[in-house]
Structure 1
Amino acid sequence: MSYTTIQKDFYRESGQYLSHFQILKKCFSPNLHYIYWFRNAQKHPKSSLTGKIYRLILRHYQIKYGFQIYAETQIGDGLYLGHWGQLVINPKAIIGRNCNIAQGVTIAQANRGRREGVPVIGDEVWIGPNAVIVGGITIGNNVLIAPNAYVSTDVPENSIVIGNPAQITPNNMATEGYINNKVKY
């Protein structure tokens, strides 16, 4: 069976693929509600009337919930926002599948220096509260970024990142137990 991106995102929370009606019932949670409108805005071209309406609704919920994630941001299936509030992601950032992003996270662009650009984040990455990821860097698959970490350098896959400045430790089971209900591909 083929599932929609919204169903895959909501699967991360419940461990079940839900019907459209069941998804709407879960939209009382601010993080799931935001994901619902974010994914709907992504489905429609920005220049279309429907795209403009969805982006207007999304903007309302950006202000209401504190999520600054734009429809143009490329985020793979299985997005999980653990808590709501004050989340900033540059619209040019690229984020893989089955990623968890906690409150207070900033994924930002560097406008100068050798790491000028925006982050590219792999699959199955867990980003803890108040972490900052900045610059034209690449975060590999299966990476755990600890709370309050400041990451401004490339991170190889299968790693744990802690501290400011970031200290990287190899670990093949970096996200084991942190990323639940992974969407299968």
Structure 2
Amino acid sequence: MADQHSTLQKDFYRESGKWLSTFEIWAKCINPNLHFIYVLRKSQKYKNTPFLKIVWKFILRHYQIKYGFQIYPETEIGEGFYLGHWGSLVINPNAKIGKNCNIAQGVTIGQQNRGKNIGFPTIGDEVWIGTNAVIVGGVIIGNNVLIAPNSYVNFDVPANSVVMGNPGKIYESENATEGYINNKV
């Protein structure tokens, strides 16, 4: 049986723990985080439709400026995406983010242009990224990883880990994101 819920419904499920109708999703867009996710997902949905691509990209750009989220339709983001707070968030369009990921304000997920880690981050499933964390370069972040606030990560992080500090230090933890990532889809 095919999954009956859209990616957008799964994103909104993460916030409330309830499956919402289209009208209920629209009503929740009073919340800036959810409103931005709504516009982002519409922009991603129509990125290959000529006229609608332009319309949704224009709308997305407006809300990028209004809310301070710099996330583009080209960015691969799994279902169950959750933005904890609004304001000042930068994600490179070539980054890849898995499902059930939480990202707080002030986070940068960016490109590295030189050195051994040239490229863009790939982030696994069920990753919690705290306030003002920075993840740069062609690094791979495993599943079930908690990146503590203000951490700097420019290295691979194995699954089931916690990263803290600047420079970041890895601590093994089977329950890294337990209690941090709720209402998983």
Q: Tell me the TM-score normalised to structure 2 length.
A: 0.98
Question: 1:103-126 deviations in whole A, cap 9, x for unaligned?
Answer: 000000000110000000000000
Instruction: Return structure 1 stretches of 4+ with deviation > 2 angstroms.
Output: none
Out of 138, 141, 148, which is 1:139 matched to? 141
Corresponding residue number in structure 2 for 1:169: 171
Corresponding residue number in structure 1 for 2:36: 34
Distance in 1 (CA, whole Å) between partners of 2:67 and 2:46 is 22
Corresponding residue number in structure 1 for 2:102: 100
User: What number of residue pairs does the alignment pair up?
Assistant: 183
Q: Give the share of equivalent positions with the same residue, in percent.
A: 66
Query: Aligned-pair distance for 1:60?
Result: 0.2
Q: Is the 8 A contact 2:161 2:174 kept in 1?
A: yes
C-alpha RMSD of the superposition:
0.8
Opposite residue 100 of structure 2, the aligned amino acid is N
**Structure 2 gap segments, 5+ residues each:** none
Question: 1:137-185 deviations in whole A, cap 9, x for unaligned?
Answer: 00000000000000000000000000000100000000000000001xx
Corresponding residue number in structure 1 for 2:153: 151
Q: Is the 8 A contact 2:162 2:171 kept in 1?
A: yes
Query: Aligned-pair distance for 1:45?
Result: 2.7
Opposite residue 157 of structure 2, the aligned amino acid is V
Q: Give secondary structure in 2 for the equivalent of 1:169.
A: strand
Distance in 1 (CA, whole Å) between partners of 2:84 and 2:144 is 17
Corresponding residue number in structure 2 for 1:73: 75
Opposite residue 145 of structure 1, the aligned amino acid is I
Query: Aligned-pair distance for 1:44?
Result: 1.1
Q: Is the 8 A contact 2:47 2:73 kept in 1?
A: no
Range moving further from structure 2, 133-142 or 38-47 = 38-47
Opposite residue 123 of structure 1, the aligned amino acid is D
